[in-house]
Amino acid sequence: MRPLLALSMLLLLALAALPAPAGATISVAPRLPKFKHARDWQITYTLSGDAGLFQDERSSLLIVSFAAPDHVQVKLLAEQHTFVAVADAHSARIYFPRLGFALWVPGAHAPDLPGDLDISLGGPEGVLTTDWDGIAQGLRHPDLDADTVYTLLPDETVAGRACLVLRTATTFHQAPGKQSKWIVTQWFDREYGLPLGARRDDREGPVQFLARSVKINAGFDSRRFTAKIPASVPVFRGPLDLDDADTIAEFLKPHELPGGDEFSSPESDPSFDFKVTLLKPTALPAGFAASNGVSSTTGHSVEPPSPEVWWSATYTWFSKSGGVIIFTQGTWPPGKGPDEQPAPAGQPRALTLRHRPAKLLTYKDPYEGLILTWHEGGKRCRLEGTGVSADDLQKMAESMKPTVLEPRPHGDVGLPLPPENTISIAPRAGRAGLAR
């Protein structure tokens, strides 16, 4: 019986390894080659639809070049917001020639490419990652606040390449009786696992990136991985996002009141469905002004020891020379707060701030910056600054006063939004490394 049993086991294993038939709902991600096996490649994507990158961007070309292990360049050629991003293992720089400035961000904050291509420049796993592993993770650990169905569609050919086609339909449960649905279709190269296209369909209409040309292992060309930033261009350093480009562009516009005084509008406040007491500074370092870049997040902590509602809020300020200050505060559950995330390598120093223990971290890689962290009133606080002195950053922290925010009008008081639901009051700050 043993030979027969062994043969039966082999047959079962072989059947389990067979790919799911096209059109079938799947519960295990099909196997794809690691995309980094394509050691040197360049893909040109065409964009159709409003990708939500910037307002009025409805058609453009996106060119992604990669050479292992740490050469990446992205070019978005669009009517309004052309940019060039170059990343290495530590940071990424994004230059906007038409807007006249650049962003320099740490690798962990390198931007995901737009259009549901699910490519990220940077992060703890390397310079370039895709979302295929994320799809497999989603299949193994479904989101409790959404219903997701993965369907394998018949193979298609994109830019002359055979592609696996996966459709992901997700229904988000936003509140009792309210829900929204996204359908995303993705094309992955069968030979190398490269993402060659993505299409998202939602209530605002379809958005599609699709490869127009693909060059794989055609030979390394170092000229592809250079971009020159003029010395006169301000470079904004910090954990920023692509969306911050619009905020910074508005900030840099000349706003003047009669008489020639420079105009600086106060920042807006986030809004919540319940009362929140947060800290706001009453004094800013010289040269910094409110950006109106505010974001807030709420969620449920469902794990002990604190099964309760949590919230966070982030304020951002800029200086015209490229300085950035970001203040994040909140009541995150254990393991989620920014003070528990990996910090830049640097010199930490204990100090007393606002009559309580605090830490000041000074770092120099990938750029020079400071991070102040402390706990106050049940909140965890993180104040990060570039282009500002330690004394001025501490004075800003000392100037903070508690501010009570009442629940938003007509909101369901006490009923928080689903976990990880972000409410952007204004564009909030993504990730890239360019050499001058």
Question: What tens digit of pLDDT does each residue of 200-236 get?
Answer: 887 666 778 889 999 888 776 766 676 678 889 999 9
Q: Is the dihedral of CA 27, 201, 129, 312 positive or negative?
A: negative
**Structure token digits, residue 203:** 């209530």
- Which strands, in side-by-side order, build the sheet including 309-319? 346-353, 356-363, 369-376, 379-386, 324-330, 309-319, 288-300, 421-424
Rounded to 5 degrees, φ, ψ at 218 are -90, 0
The pLDDT, as a whole number, for residue 346 is 84
Helices (runs of H) and strands (runs of E) counted in the chain: 4, 25
Report yes or no: 316 and 294 within 8 Å, Cβ to Cβ.
yes
Residue 190 CA to residue 209 CA, distance in Å, equals 18
Residue 247 CA to residue 58 CA, distance in Å, equals 19
Find where tokens 């952007």 sit: 424
pLDDT tens track for 22-47: 567 877 777 777 776 777 888 888 87
Same fold, 21-225 and 244-424: no
Identify the helix (H) or strand (E) that includes residue 315: strand 309-319
Report yes or no: 372 and 386 within 8 Å, Cβ to Cβ.
no
Parts of the chain with a pLDDT under 50:
1-19, 54-57, 124, 256-265, 301-306, 411-436
The pLDDT, as a whole number, for residue 89 is 67
The pLDDT, as a whole number, for residue 234 is 94
Report yes or no: 275 and 127 within 8 Å, Cβ to Cβ.
no
Residue 240 CA to residue 317 CA, distance in Å, equals 11
> What share of the chain in percent tops pLDDT 70?
64
Render 135-182 in DSSP notation, one character per residue.
HHHHHHS--TTEEEEEEEEEEEEETTEEEEEEEEEEEEEEETTEEEEE
The CATH label, of 3.30.200.100, 3.40.50.2300, 3.40.50.1820, 3.20.20.140, for the domain at 244-424 is 3.30.200.100
* pTM for the structure as a whole: 0.70
What is the domain partition of the chain in residue ranges? 21-225, 244-424
Neighbours of 134 (CB within 10 A): 13
User: What average pLDDT does the chain have?
Assistant: 74
**Structure token digits, residue 34:** 């690691």
Residue 222 CA to residue 219 CA, distance in Å, equals 10
Q: Which fold has domain 21-225?
A: outer membrane lipoprotein receptor (LolB), chain A (2.50.20)
